[in-house]
Amino acid sequence: MAEQKKWKWADDPNLNKMELTKLEKDGLDVIETIVNTYSKEGYASIEPSDFDRFKWAGIYQQRPKDGHFMMRVRIPGGILTSRQARTLAGIAKDYGRDLVDVTTRQAVQFHWLTVESLADIFSRLSEVGLSSFEACGDCPRTIVGNPLAGIDPHEVLDTRPIIKELEQFFLLNRDFSNLPRKYKMSISANVYNAAHAQINDLAFTPAKKTIGGEEVVGFHVWVGGGLSAKPYLAQQLDVFCRPEEVVKVAAGVTTLFRDFGYRQKRTHARLKFLVADWGAEKFREELVKLTGPLETRGEDLLKGWNAGYFYGLHEQRQKGFYYAGLSVPVGRMDADELSELARLADEYGDGTIGTCNSQNVLIRHIPEEKLEAFRAEPLIATRFKLAPQTFVGYAVSCTGIEYCNLAVVETKERMRSLAEYLDQTVALDTPLRIHMVGCPNSCGQRQIADIGLQGALVKTPNGMVDAFDIYVGGTLEEARFNQKLKARITADELGPFLAQLIAIYKEERQAGEPYWRYVERVGLEAIQRQVDSILQTA
């Protein structure tokens, strides 16, 4: 066990309870304890204070805290190899009741794990270059990126080497293992904002600048984004970052969060609150004290927003090769399906699989002559479709009450069945993104959805029942979060309610008008009148 660092905030008398727990023992120390003690002596041997530290191993207690655990595995940049995929499938089959989830941060999530299985899982992951460590906890989490990096015709440089360097720098780095709260990074050189820059604590997006007479391609830097109960859009710093400066800048931003972030209240501890208080100008001034001089902003190369959807077969940068964007309904698959994806990646592609922040997957580098055979593969034709139906294809869901201790309603199966109902009820020829979350933490990123559904409970004559608050108009195209309507709809009424609301949009929209743009055009008051009319006639 490493010696505990003496941090500058350690003597603050107003530290919250979790901060005191972290001062007693660094979160990373629990990994050794899990391997050497808990995995051998069982669930009953776990020291209660270590349950919080399990997050640094990438592990949460699974609802209802009966001895089972959920684990997240980091997939840096959203690209994994077929060998890694087979290892993940084997873990799910041996220990996770065959269940595999793809998350909105491109990670893979297991359920039903026991503490006795964890040492073997850690070992299997390590053998193929994967890790669950720091996928959760108050530390730098999975680095989100472009799952098409290296083959993307819409990227200005290949970010895979940079993500690898970032991952190696931050993973298990005890200088940054005790941050005030969770800390999320993204980096992409895709001009359509493939890594959702505005909702990350720290993000790098493509830019260019003429320096010394030479045009340099690099990044602009964003700080202070985040969702949960009080969402903030990230602010862009007046910084142009060369590719070789990314790690230095990331270390500087993370150091500022570590040393100046708030540690008195957990609900006020994210970087977004510090950035909101300081402002972008002061934040840059403090950053340069750590990094040395940085270039001012150059030309922004962002052109729009891809919300993480790549359906169909598309030409790559490499002539004669294609990538396949596949639909994984609400991000859930079984172990055999993941193994089959690995086979498809080897047989048709270059042995890599992309995980998307829309909870879907990609097969990369398919030669043109193999496309027809690929289309005919049973998994592609029947389950992970190249052209899914509208609502199933654009449905996102968090884990929900099935496994999560924070959720108040069930979400995964409910979102899947809701999407199928809408596909059977409303014929819509344009994407409409619906995100369902079980609590305000918003792992399903409901704030950026066309329609966001947030779980709640409502009292009825028959007792408390599941219900959903409705939010409309979210996007990162012209970044804004969706807005809450005055309506709490019970779960059994949700399908018919949304079908009517979407039917009005279908009737009133302009040509090619996405739902978020429609909400912007007609206004929230008009949408509220639609809602009131639907409820009055129900």
3-state secondary structure (DSSP) of residue 434: strand
- The answer as to whether 221 is a domain residue is yes
Asked if 115 and 177 sit in the same domain, the reply is: no
Q: Does 516 map to a domain? A: yes
Q: Is there a single domain that holds both residue 115 and residue 181?
A: no
pLDDT digits (tens, 9 = 90+) for 394-434: 999 999 999 999 999 999 999 999 999 999 999 999 999 99
Q: How many CB atoms are closer than 10 A to CB 20?
A: 12
- Catalytic site residue from 145, 225, 444, 455: 444
- The answer on 195 and 78 residing in a single domain is no
Domain that holds residue 62: 17-127
Q: Check 443, 446, 452, 473 and give the catalytic one.
A: 443
What would the pLDDT profile of 224-260 be if each residue is shown by its tens digit? Answer: 999 998 999 999 999 999 999 999 999 999 999 999 9
Kindly tell me if the per-residue pLDDT of 393 is higher than 90.
yes
CATH number at residue 399: 3.30.413.10
Out of 72, 105, 141, 332, the active site residue is: 72
CB 356 within 8 A of CB 149: no
Active site annotation includes 226: no
Q: Which of 273, 300, 327 is the last residue of a domain?
A: 300
Q: Is residue 269 assigned to a domain?
A: yes
Q: For the chain, what is the domain count?
A: 3
CATH number at residue 86: 3.90.480.20
Catalytic residue among 182, 284, 332, 412: 182
* CA 152, 386, 417, 518 torsion-angle sign: positive
Q: Are 181 and 251 in contact (CB under 8 A)?
A: no
Alpha-carbon torsion (452, 275, 149, 306), positive or negative:
positive
Q: Please, which residues have CB within 8 angstroms of residue 18's CB and are 6 or more apart in sequence?
A: 52, 138, 266
93 and 170 both lie in a single domain: no
On whether both 165 and 270 belong to a single domain, the answer is: yes
Q: With bands split at pLDDT 50, 70 and 90, how would you rate the model's confidence at 538?
A: confident
Q: Which two tokens stand for residue 71?
A: 């684990």
Spatial distance between the Cα atoms of 289 and 38, rounded to a whole number of angstroms? 43
80, 175: one domain:
no
* Model pLDDT for residues 367-392, shown as the tens digit of each residue: 999 999 999 999 999 999 999 999 99
Indicate whether 227 and 103 sit together in one domain.
no
- Cα separation of 74 and 369, whole Å? 33
Are both 509 and 424 inside the same structural domain? yes
User: Is 438 annotated as catalytic?
Assistant: yes
What does the pLDDT look like over 81-112, one tens digit per residue? 999 999 999 999 999 999 999 999 999 999 99
256-269: average pLDDT: 97
| 95 & 175 share domain | no
Among the listed residues 359, 436, 447, the one whose alpha carbon sits nearest the alpha carbon of residue 404: 436
My answer on whether 95 and 187 are in the same domain is no
Is the pLDDT at 316 greater than 80? The verdict is yes
* Residue-wise pLDDT tens digits, 39-59: 999 999 999 999 999 999 999
pLDDT in tens, 148-163: 999 999 999 999 999 9
> How many CB atoms neighbour CB 49 within 10 A?
12
Domain membership flag for residue 152: no
In a domain, 341, yes or no: no
Please give the share of the chain, as a percent, with pLDDT higher than 70.
99
pLDDT in tens, 162-212: 999 999 999 999 999 999 999 999 999 999 999 999 999 999 999 999 999
8 Å CB contact between 233 and 258: no
Residue whose tokens read 């359906």: 311
> Does a structural domain hold residue 387?
no
Residue appearing with tokens 């029942």: 465
CA angle 520, 525, 526 (to 5 degrees): 75
Is 181 among the residues known to form the active site? yes
Q: Is residue 345 part of a domain?
A: no
Average model confidence (pLDDT) for the chain? 97
Main-chain dihedrals φ then ψ at residue 312, nearest 5 degrees: 100, -175
Q: Do 285 and 164 belong to one domain?
A: yes
Residue 211, in any domain of the structure: yes
Last residue of a domain, one of 261, 276, 300: 300
Residue % of the chain over a pLDDT of 90: 96
H or E element that contains 516 = helix 515-522
Q: Which of 181, 209, 385, 446 is catalytic?
A: 181
Categorize the per-residue pLDDT at 8 as very low, low, confident or very high, splitting at 50, 70 and 90: confident
Distance CA 222, CA 224 (A): 7
| Residue 179 shares a structural domain with residue 63 | no
Q: What residue type is assigned to position 365 of the chain?
A: H
